[in-house]
Amino acid sequence: MALITTKEMFKKAYEGGYAIGAFNISDLEQLQGVLEGAKAKNSSVIIQASKSAIEYAGPHTLVEMVKAASDEIGVDVALHLDHGPSLEAVKMCVEAGFSSVMIDGSHYDFEENVRITKEVVDYAHAHGVVVEAELGVLAGVEDEVSSDVHKYTDPDEAKEFVERTGVDSLAIAIGTSHGAFKFKGEAELKFDILEEIQAKLPGFPIVLHGASAVDQNSVATCNEFGGNIAGAKGIPVDMLRKASSMAVCKINMDTDLRLAMTAAIRKYLAENPAQFDPRKYLGAGRAAIQAVVESKIEDVLGSANSAK
């Protein structure tokens, strides 16, 4: 089955007042769990891989694995490079067969971000691949993405950036944060910034990174069965659902899947100490991921029955 781009997905999502879930994976069980969850809810879905996930699994292996699994399960899917660090990384993924890429120039100044993004857009579009970029800086740590500061996206800069680069979607900073330890206090998303960007870029798809809710049941299960995850805190579900009813057409979720899988595996191994068949404990992790994805589709994304 051929991979698809996000263009039609985002158009339908914007018009329908929902968002598409973009779920990070690096192995077969994670992939199957996400696709089974999407199929169960008849939802469009994006599979994405970070630079470190691609190094772990291999770009060609990921492409062929996603194609084979989506064909077997029966789900159309876009495969997206998450937080691509350079044109070289983008080229590697495009040549391997990814249908969507992100170039992350958010740590550069505005003009350099524009330059790098435009270069990637020109290359990717020539190969039929769509491009996401980022403007603004999210605090937090996840995979190889980290920052100690948070810089909200400026709506005027967002408009100029999109017009000058020709990018297909834009990740913005309105208060989300990478990783499991997002906040010490209460979360606050700047919906006024989102509203202003939507007014300046009508119909344009916006992306939220760092948008895991950090399910406290998963955290508690991890800790109950030998983990040490203290103080983990995420974005409230109602805030994410509000964002997805506006201009946000793609919401990235990674931490929630990691926590759910780890909690299920820890629990299974603790309760079955004589078991050493990886299919048993990895299967428990896969089932946990499917449950999370189904919940996200219903409660956060609103994308149930959005697939063809």
Residues known to be catalytic? 82
Contact between 1 and 27 under an 8 Å Cβ cutoff? The reply is no
Residues 6+ apart with CB under 8 A from 65: 28, 31, 57
For residues 162, 166, 172, 177, the Cα torsion angle rounded to the nearest 10 degrees is -160
DSSP annotation of 152 reads P
Q: How many CB atoms lie within 10 A of CB 245?
A: 13
State the sign of the Cα–Cα–Cα–Cα dihedral 56, 60, 62, 65: negative
State the sign of the Cα–Cα–Cα–Cα dihedral 108, 57, 132, 234: negative
What's the burial of 217, exposed, middle or buried (CB within 10 Å: 0-12/13-18/19+)?
A: exposed
* Angstrom distance (rounded) from CA 57 to CA 52: 9
Annotated binding-site members for dihydroxyacetone phosphate: 179, 210-212, 252-255
Annotated binding-site members: 83, 104, 134, 178-179, 209-212, 252-255
Annotated binding-site members for Zn(2+): 83, 104, 134, 178, 209
| Helix or strand holding residue 249 (H, E) | strand 248-253
Contact between 82 and 132 under an 8 Å Cβ cutoff? The reply is no
Contact between 158 and 133 under an 8 Å Cβ cutoff? The reply is no
* Angstrom distance (rounded) from CA 26 to CA 11: 28
Contact between 131 and 114 under an 8 Å Cβ cutoff? The reply is no
* Angstrom distance (rounded) from CA 211 to CA 25: 16
Nearest to 117 by CA among 128, 103, 107: 103
* Angstrom distance (rounded) from CA 132 to CA 254: 17
